Structure 1
Amino acid sequence: MTPNRPYLLRAFYDWIIDNKCTPYLVVDANYPDVRVPQQFVQNGQIVLNVLPSAVGNLQLGNDFVTFNARFGGQPFALSVPVKAVLAIYARENGAGTVFTLEEDDEDEQDFLPESLDDEPTPEPPKPGRGSHLKVIK
């Protein structure tokens, strides 16, 4: 199956906007292919205001989040892989979601293993002598 993170990201974004709140994205700025203004990165992360009036050309795609914004008055074209988005939340009340690494691990599997444990499958019991039950008439 395809990863669910981009769908959840779009759903939470719409939900936050519909409730007249300000959507913020928390991004892992050290993730490969992240293009954000590095001078605003703190502890390897950057928080981005993605309110429609704060950004231009916002695209919440399946692989990347892209938009234009101003930082310190300077225009900047941002590009963030969806996998680099750690959370989306509303500034006003903190409602939203945090994405975990486990979700990505599950999403990237092409198939589920037959068994999750390493123990061999136990053999079915061998037929022994007949039942110890007796028919009473």
Structure 2
Amino acid sequence: MQSSRGYLLRALNEWILDSGWTPHLVIDAEIQGVMVPQQFISDGQIVLNVAPSAVQGLTIENDAVSFSARFGGVPMNVFAPMVAVMAIYARENGQGMGFGAEPGVEALYSDEPDNDPPPEDPKPKPKSRASLKVVK
């Protein structure tokens, strides 16, 4: 079955615009294939204003979002696979929708996988007993 994210993103973008608000996308910038301005990434994410006055050629397909925009006066083509889109919301009131992780998305992160085993703790910690505390 095809993901519903692209369909929902198009509908929510239209709803936000019809309401006279400014749509913003939250993109996971660490997913492979994401092309966004690196200087605006914070905590692995970037928030992009996708209002018609801010972008050119916004295309929301079932598999990706793309558009052209200026960042600090420099033109750039932006591309994000649909699995990298984390949320869409209206800037003015925060209304919108967040999306959960798609199955198998872990394999799409651009960093090399860490194949080293975790360091072993030489002394296992004793398990603590559960306790209750009476609160009056």
TM-score range relative to shorter protein: 0.7 to 0.9
Tell which structure's C-alpha radius of gyration is larger.
Answer: 1
In the aligned structure 1, how far is the partner of 2:58 from the partner of 2:25? 13
Give the superposed CA RMSD.
1.1
* Residues 85-124 of structure 1: pairs in structure 2 closer than 5 A: 85-101=85-101, 104-105=102-103
In the aligned structure 1, how far is the partner of 2:16 from the partner of 2:84? 20
In the aligned structure 2, how far is the partner of 1:7 from the partner of 1:57? 18
Task: Tell me the SS of whatever aligns to 1:9.
Answer: helix
Task: Tell me the SS of whatever aligns to 1:7.
Answer: helix
Aligned-pair distance for 1:2? 1.1
In the aligned structure 1, how far is the partner of 2:58 from the partner of 2:8? 16
Q: What's the counterpart of residue 58 of structure 1?
A: 58
Runs of 4+ in 1 over 3 A off after TM superposition: none
Task: Tell me the SS of whatever aligns to 2:17.
Answer: helix
Task: Tell me the SS of whatever aligns to 1:15.
Answer: helix
Task: Tell me the SS of whatever aligns to 2:14.
Answer: helix
In the aligned structure 2, how far is the partner of 1:29 from the partner of 1:3? 20
In the aligned structure 2, how far is the partner of 1:6 from the partner of 1:62? 4
Cα deviations across residues 45-102 of structure 1 (Å, max 9, x unaligned)? 000000011100110011110000000000000000011000000000000000011x
Percent sequence identity over matched residues? 55
> Is residue 2:67 matched to residue 1:67?
yes
In the aligned structure 2, how far is the partner of 1:32 from the partner of 1:62? 17
Structure 1 unaligned segments of length 5 or more: list them: 106-137
Letter in structure 1 aligned against 2:95: A
Task: Tell me the SS of whatever aligns to 2:65.
Answer: strand
Task: Tell me the SS of whatever aligns to 1:51.
Answer: coil
In the aligned structure 1, how far is the partner of 2:11 from the partner of 2:57? 18
**Equivalenced residues, count:** 104
Q: What's the counterpart of residue 9 of structure 1?
A: 9
Aligned-pair distance for 1:7? 0.4
Task: Tell me the SS of whatever aligns to 1:12.
Answer: helix
Q: What's the counterpart of residue 28 of structure 2?
A: 28
Q: What's the counterpart of residue 47 of structure 2?
A: 47
Structure 2 unaligned segments of length 5 or more: list them: 104-136
